[in-house]
Copies of this chain bind each other. A is one copy, B any other.
Amino acid sequence: MQLPQRVLLKEVGTRDGFQMEKQWIPTKHKIEICNLLSDCGFQEMQFIAFVHPKAVPNMADAEEVLQNIRRNPHTNYSALIPNRKGFERAYANGIRQVEMTMSATDSHNISNLNCTTQQSLKRVEECLALGLDMKLAVGIAVAFGCPFEGRPPFERIKWIVDSLVGMGIREIGLADTSGVGDPRQVYEYACRLREAYPEVHYYFHPHNTHGTAIANVIAILQAGITTIDTSVAGLGGCPYAPGASGNVATEDLVQVLEAMGIDTGIDIDKLIAAANRTEEVVGHSDSATLRAGKLDQIVEGGPHYQCNL
């Protein structure tokens, strides 16, 4: 089994997680969670989004969060943006690393961003044309399946990647936004894209809607993509399946990767503490770790039971 020695986890819980929350999360709690996560040792945290507050009310205080968190000098703090306006707002606030999102299908792009995929590509060009000192990653949503159009053909993903690489983008995300990708597909798309552009730094953004996120992560690691977006306490979600799981819980992935001997650089005990506090703040979670505890825990004595093969 071909596996990397090290995996880079990008924590997105306070962005992808908090944006899905219906209730207002007080700014001080956002700052507190960011600080707890900063202590865990992430190489990157996508901690806020610069989006219109009417679209995503919980990101309205992005500036205040940004100004008040305690930064870990070993962590890169990045933001999500939907367009040039967000790009400029991020830059004005001292952010030097952003991710812009677009969708593999027009239906999803229109639903999400009110323009076609092609028009979103133009928005990337507009941002680049500003000539600002900003690292721009582009995430391709619904890359493995769209709630409106089903599975996009690989050629569609390839066309987007071709266009992005042509513009000079070297950080490209493959997002399984609805969690409908499967390990074989994820592996194959990843292999083909890496073969086409070995110079691109690809990353994977899994959702656990159908319980397959960890399997998809292991598959894409085998294909050589080793940067993974995860969310503390498994926050996030899918607007089409309200009861479904969100992003893969960071603590679940850290535990299984470390068990496999793959280094994540994360302090699991601090992370579990952060996940517990996150659950308290938002009132829910979707984390096997929070339900079942640590993988390597030993039961002292233990109850008697029978025939639980």
CA A304 to CA B52, docked complex, whole Å: 14
Interface positions of A from 214 to 272, Cβ below 8 Å from B: 214-215, 217-219, 222, 238-241, 243-245, 249, 252, 255-256, 259-261
Given A241-B291, A256-B183 in contact, is the A1-B222 Cβ separation under 8 Å?
yes
A276-309 Cβ-contact flags toward B at 8 Å (1 or 0)? 0000000000001101110111110011111111
Give the Cβ gap from A32 to chain B, nearest Cβ, in Å: 23
A102 to B149, CA, bound (A): 49
Whether A212 is near chain B, meaning CB under 8 Å from some CB there, is yes
Report chain B residues within 8 Å CB of A41. none
Q: Which residues of A, 101-123, contact B by the 8 Å Cβ criterion?
A: 101, 111-113
Contact B307 A209 (CB under 8 A): no
Pick the contact of A307: B80, B180, B208, B295 (CB < 8 A).
B80
A259 and B209: CB pair below 8 A?
no
Residue A99 at the B interface, CB < 8 A?
yes
Contact A141 B293 (CB under 8 A): no
Cβ of A179 under 8 Å from chain B: yes
Q: A210-B289, A299-B147 are in contact. Are A308 and B20 (CB under 8 A)?
A: yes
Q: Closest Cβ of chain B: how far from A154's Cβ, in Å?
A: 15
Chain A interface mostly: loop
The closest CB in chain B to the CB of A243 belongs to B291
- Do A141 and B292 have beta carbons less than 8 Å apart? no
Docked-complex contact A292 and B209, CB < 8 angstroms: yes
Which of A82, A208, A215, A307 has the most B CB atoms < 10 Å from its CB? A307
Q: Tell me whether A51 is interfacial, beta carbon within 8 Å.
A: yes
Interface residue from B111, B205, B210, B298 paired with A309 (Cβ < 8 Å): B205
**Does A42 have its Cβ within 8 Å of any Cβ on chain B?**
no
What's the minimum C-beta distance from A108 to chain B, rounded to whole angstroms? 9
Check A13 for interface membership: any CB of B closer than 8 A: no
**Which residues 129-185 of A sit at the B interface, judged by CB distance below 8 A?**
139, 141, 145, 147-150, 173, 175, 177, 179-180, 182-185
Q: Within 8 Å of chain B (Cβ to Cβ): is A187? A: yes
Is A25 interfacial (CB 8 A cutoff)?
no
Q: Does A193 contact B (CB under 8 A)?
A: no
16 contacts between A and B (CB under 8 A): A1-B187, A1-B188, A1-B222, A19-B307, A19-B308, A51-B307, A111-B304, A112-B305, A147-B298, A173-B309, A175-B309, A182-B259, A209-B288, A210-B292, A210-B295, A215-B217
